[in-house]
Amino acid sequence: MRFLLILLLVAGNAFAQEWPARPVKFIISQPPGTSPDIVARFLADRLSRGLGQSVVVENRPGGQNVIGAQAAAKSPADGYTYFFATTAAIITNPLTFKALPYDPERDFVPAAMIAKSPMVVAVNASVPAKTLAELVALDKAQPGKLAAANEGAKTFSGMMSLMLNKTAGVGLLQVPYTGVSPAIQDTIAGRTQVVLVSSAAMLPFLKRGDLRALAVSAGKRVRGLEDVPTLAETYPGFEYVGWFALLAPAGTPAPILQRVNREMDKVLTDPEIAKRLFDLGLVNEGAGTPESLNEFLKAERERWAKLVKEIGLQPE
């Protein structure tokens, strides 16, 4: 048995040394032009330089990330296909669907952390609240008057908005949209008064003064929004962020995963890349290791399972 394991290790290392002999692919479960797509294409271009092979991005949108995730999960575990995964596809979908055609824990192995995207609670400029406490007081003084835009009850922003209602004891009316852009635009126009979506999507509008940020969902204040308190400062433990991570089909050789991890870390820690990600509203702390990403995913599953239980969301 020991001899067999040694042979497998040697064979895996030899394969990794020959890899990549052809283009590498990122499957993304969102359409072109979205924040994950923009980030994936930018990083794919830079990663290709380190690998010596082109890295192409294939968009497989639809089904609340299910189509892309399933396609990635069923891809050959040969090191040439990766899933540019989001929180929804890996963490929250298993909590909101009764059945999925893929198993995030069984079908994927971690390769590299990409970046985190905190959520932001922001208001229309005409809303008198300048702080989260003032927003809570305003809602309690005028119940049913404030409407909160999000991407739907079973999306990342929708679940967080419901959790905010429960945690703060408020009754913000939940207004679901089919995407981030219409949610933001309707809040700017005043059709809704509050919006809770990712910092990556919100940042340009905050910089222009179209919206006023009251809180971020990260555990610590976000670079570029240092004056904006975290939700956890008011409600300890309220820490939920979206993220992007590179995952591979289960069975992908470990030496290849380690190579991808090293190369992606070089990309992410490059000052030019780090600034670009920062400008996109993302928190980048390097690729970590496959092991650290695995531990992060375990913690995320526990964190989001607790949230779903708290808000009483039932899978469908």
Domains and CATH numbers, the chain: 12-117+241-311 (3.40.190.150), 118-234 (3.40.190.10)
In whole angstroms, give the CA distance from residue 187 to residue 216: 17
Q: CA-CA distance, 104 to 89, in Å (whole number)?
A: 8
Question: What per-residue confidence (pLDDT) applies to 16?
Answer: 56
Q: How far is CA 171 from CA 60, 92, 103, 145, 305, in A?
A: 36, 23, 35, 9, 22
- Does the predicted TM-score (pTM) go above 0.85? yes
Helix 254-268 / helix 35-51 crossing angle, nearest 10 deg: 110
- CA separation for the pair 65, 68 (Å, rounded): 6
User: What are the CA-CA distances from residue 142 to residues 97, 146, 173, 295 (Å)?
Assistant: 35, 8, 12, 43
What six digits make up the tokens of 134? 């003032």
**Token pair belonging to 266:** 């070089």
Q: How much is the pLDDT for 7?
A: 44
Q: What are 98's two structure tokens?
A: 């009764």
Phi-psi region of 309 (alpha: psi -120 to 50; beta: other; left: phi over 0): alpha
194, 211 Cβ separation under 8 angstroms: no
The H-or-E segment that residue 108 falls in is strand 108-124
pLDDT of 3? 46
Query: Angle of helix 271-279 relative to helix 254-268, nearest 10 degrees?
Result: 80
pLDDT at 4: 46
d(CA 130, CA 124): 11
Asked whether 134 and 146 are in contact (CB, 8 A), the reply is no
| pLDDT reported for residue 281 | 83
Would you state the pLDDT for residue 5? 44
Q: pLDDT 10s digit of each residue in the chain, 316 long? A: 454 444 445 445 555 568 999 999 999 999 998 889 999 999 999 999 999 999 999 999 999 899 999 999 999 999 999 999 999 999 999 999 999 999 999 999 999 999 999 999 999 999 999 999 999 999 999 999 999 999 888 888 899 999 999 999 999 999 999 888 999 999 999 999 999 998 888 888 999 999 999 999 998 888 888 899 999 999 998 999 999 999 999 999 999 999 999 999 999 999 999 999 988 888 899 999 999 999 999 999 999 999 999 999 888 8
Neighbouring residues of 260: CB distance < 8 A, sequence distance ≥ 6: 79, 82, 111, 112, 246, 248
